[in-house]
Amino acid sequence: MPGPHKWQQRFRTHVSRWTVPREVILDLLSRTSKHMSAKEIYASLYKMYPGIGLTTIYRTLDLLMRTGFINKFTIGDGQSRYEFKSGKKKEHHHHLTCIKCGKIIDYSDFMDEELEFVKKTEETLSKRHNFNVLGHNIEFYGLCEKCK
């Protein structure tokens, strides 16, 4: 078990045990800007941490999503993808996906209007439906330059 870590505190208060798999998975996601699938995370971690199991990755990702550390989304290619929720406005983005070749483009323009729209919607949905809103996914899809 590595030494003290920046998330350990927050993690303990929300969840429970701070373990190596949980640290390395969260650490990996916080460092990449990619939308990683469970398999990709597995492949990436295997180098540093052979012996880690895919099952643990799925379980940890689910836990991290439920506790608000990461976002989960699906973009039609059959596998779920995950990304770190940084909280920094800069790093927040949405997706534009090609339904033919699977290409994903991140965009983070219009954030001022979008942010306002999203915030307002979240608040109202929370109240109206008594939901604890944890996150959102906004996706536009279509055919990219090459595929259309």
Give DSSP secondary structure letters for 53-121. Answer: -HHHHHHHHHHHHHTTSEEEEE-SSSSEEEEE----GGG--EEEEETTT--EEEE--SHHHHHHHHHHH
Rounded CA separation 98/75 (Å): 9
Q: Check residue 115 for interaction with a second copy (CB under 8 A).
A: no
User: Exposed/middle/buried for 26, CB within 10 Å: 0-12, 13-18, 19+?
Assistant: buried
Interacting residue ranges for DNA, rule: CB under 7 A: 1, 12, 15-22, 37-39, 51-56, 58-60, 62, 78-80
Cβ 148 to DNA shortest distance, Å: 19
Q: Which stretch binds a second copy (CB under 8 A): 15-23, 26-34, 47-55, 105-113?
A: 105-113
Rounded to whole angstroms, the Cα distance separating 133 from 103 reads: 28
Q: Of 1-9, 22-30, 39-47, 137-145, which segment contacts a second copy by CB under 8 A?
A: 137-145
Give me the 36-75 binding string for a second copy, x by CB under 8 A, dash otherwise. -----------------------------xx-----x-x-
Binding site for a second copy (CB under 8 A): 65-66, 72, 74, 76, 80, 96, 98-100, 105, 107, 109-110, 113-114, 117, 120-122, 124-126, 128-145, 148
